[in-house]
Structure 1
Amino acid sequence: MTPQTDMENGGHPAYWVKSVEKTFSVLLAFSADEPRLTITRAAAKADLSRAAARRFLLTLVDLGYLRMDGSHFELTPRCLDIGASFLANLSLPQIAEPHLKELAVDLNETASLCVLDGAEIVYLARVAAPRLLSVSVNVGTRFPAWATSMGRVLLAGLPERAREEYFASLSLQPFTHHSVSSIDRLRAEVDRAGAQGFSMVSQELDDGLRGVAVPVRRGNDLIAAINVSLQTHRVPEDEIARTVVPQLIQAAQSIADDFGGRRAAAS
């Protein structure tokens, strides 16, 4: 059933509450580019008269959603309460997916999110490159952690004792002739991933493919890793740290922020 509209209410449905619309127009007037607004500027951005904007701003101050600093107003942390319930019900894969999609489009490569489960990585989200019609790896797929870029990033984040216990229990079974063939070499690669903040694994799991991964951290906690899978002929290896890794780091930070990373860093 289509709600009846009221032409005297701007063509909106009859139930439309104009003051609610105006309240959110004032709140949304604040942005990263303009976090502090005067009454005049807020009125212009919210398309309100100066007198109306003043009433809305002062009411929002009384409610705790804005604070005053001289002639300027700015948002308070209480504004986070508006989206808190929504964010609390989002899972990590749901939060990561739009960022993975953006990464896949920007790089034209497949992007994935994984976590460590025992000695294996588990894919929680995966977005295929726009140029690919099918993907052989799906959500829920598992691989030995040691043979993947995401696995090595996640292993590097383990406490030292847990990492050494992992190495002690490991039996390497190479997938290709490029695969790491000794525990000492693997330990060096994991240490390198931890030191440089990313891991690159070239043709160790599958010929012709190179994986590049970075950690996703919420505060001090390592919660996951994201990577892109590159065909070896598409991006020269010596350009990856300059061209691919920064975009991965930015995507990982965005995922962490949306998953509560800003709150964890502030606490």
Structure 2
Amino acid sequence: MDKIVPSDVLDTEPQQASAPQISDRDYVNSLARGLEVICAFTRSKPRMTLSDIARATGMTRATVRRFLLTLVREGYAETDGKFFALRPKILQLGYSALSSMDIWDVAQPIMDQLSDKLQESCFAAVLNGHDVIYVARATSDRLINVGINVGSHAPAHSVSTGRVLLAALPEEDLQQYLENVTLTKLTPNTTTSKVKLRNLIEECRLSGWCIVDQELEIGLRSISVPIRNADGTVVAALNVCCPSSRITPEEMRTSILTELMTASQAITAGLQK
């Protein structure tokens, strides 16, 4: 995802400016550590104790306690006295960034049309470390839609959006990901071999799309393609999720892939206007 630099910190015209250098004097260590506490919460660990978060961040319990109680007081977290968890208000931090990006203004109506045409759930995701974060969604008129919300995380290795985004990484970054990631087995279908995962990512690089069949959750199959900005850089992945009982892999490779590619190209074209 492109980094956004506020215009008030730039010294020249936007088209000529580059991001300012941040000195140690300007660096707010407490803010950085507070963000680290927030990022310690994951899909697999939505509720944690002080000790859990201290271990995850490498901070002392006393330091973590101050950050958590501040988050609780501001409404970004909650506690029952032992366990802490993030509250929905935390999503406002992400919405503020997303709402300022033209790509989502362009993408949302196209995703809505795609979901309406296919009568399936449609999502957009970006890479965040070893996970993907779903940043936009469109649901169909069906009574039952795939229950993935904006702000939800999923392990990149187990979803088609993740493999599309990993395929877009520079080789050095991909190698670093493969060296450091733990490939958790979420279903009997989940790929846990790093050699096999790399081969699947390479296939995605060549084909420009990816299908993942019930590796995140049994009964859920998905297909994704990259979303590119006006410069051709991959900034997100566009995804259609379907119950495996309703849509076959062959249907995903034909009719759904065609519509998905058309939608992705329409988003890119919209960004060039």
With the shorter chain as reference, the TM-score category is: 0.5 to 0.7
Offset at 1:136?
A: 2.6
**Which residue type is aligned with residue 252 of structure 1?**
S
2:267 aligned residue: 255
Offset at 1:234?
A: 1.6
**163, 166, 172: which one pairs with 2:174?**
163
Aligned-partner Cα distance in 1 for 2:201–2:101: 31
* 1:232 and 2:234 matched: no
Offset at 1:196?
A: 0.7
**256, 262, 268: which one pairs with 1:244?**
256
1:189-243 Cα shifts (integer Å, max 9, x gaps): 1111111110000000010110100001123311111000011122221232211
Offset at 1:148?
A: 0.6
1:227-262 Cα shifts (integer Å, max 9, x gaps): 0001112222123221111110110111111123x6
8 Å Cα contact 2:238-2:260 kept in structure 1: yes
1:193 aligned residue: 204
8 Å Cα contact 2:120-2:145 kept in structure 1: no
Aligned-partner Cα distance in 1 for 2:108–2:122: 9
Offset at 1:133?
A: 5.0
Aligned-partner Cα distance in 1 for 2:118–2:257: 11
How has the CA–CA distance of structure 1 residues 90 and 160 changed in structure 2, closer, same or farther, with 3 Å as cutoff? closer
* 1:125 and 2:115 matched: no
Aligned-partner Cα distance in 1 for 2:188–2:241: 19
3-state SS, counterpart of residue 178 of structure 1: coil
8 Å Cα contact 2:111-2:137 kept in structure 1: yes
* 1:113 and 2:127 matched: no
Identity rate of aligned residues, in percent? 32
TM-score, length basis structure 2: 0.61
Offset at 1:118?
A: 1.5
Aligned-partner Cα distance in 2 for 1:248–1:202: 17
1:2-50 Cα shifts (integer Å, max 9, x gaps): xxxxxxxxxxxxxxxxxxxxxxxxxxxxxxxxxxxxxxxxxxxxxxxxx
Offset at 1:129?
A: 2.3
How has the CA–CA distance of structure 1 residues 257 and 158 changed in structure 2, closer, same or farther, with 3 Å as cutoff? same
User: Superposition RMSD on alpha carbons, in Å?
Assistant: 1.7
Unaligned regions of 5+ residues in structure 2, if any? Answer: 1-98
How has the CA–CA distance of structure 1 residues 184 and 109 changed in structure 2, closer, same or farther, with 3 Å as cutoff? same
**72, 96, 102: which one pairs with 2:107?**
96
8 Å Cα contact 1:93-1:113 kept in structure 2: no
Aligned-partner Cα distance in 2 for 1:151–1:258: 24
Aligned-partner Cα distance in 2 for 1:132–1:116: 30
Offset at 1:89?
A: 6.2
Offset at 1:160?
A: 0.5
3-state SS, counterpart of residue 214 of structure 1: strand
Unaligned regions of 5+ residues in structure 1, if any? Answer: 1-87, 263-267
TM-score, length basis structure 1: 0.62
* 1:145 and 2:184 matched: no
**Which residue type is aligned with residue 229 of structure 1?**
C
8 Å Cα contact 2:146-2:241 kept in structure 1: no
Aligned-partner Cα distance in 2 for 1:175–1:215: 24
In our comparison, the structure showing a higher alpha carbon Rg is 1
1:70-124 Cα shifts (integer Å, max 9, x gaps): xxxxxxxxxxxxxxxxxx9653222211111111111110000111112111111
Aligned-partner Cα distance in 2 for 1:192–1:134: 29
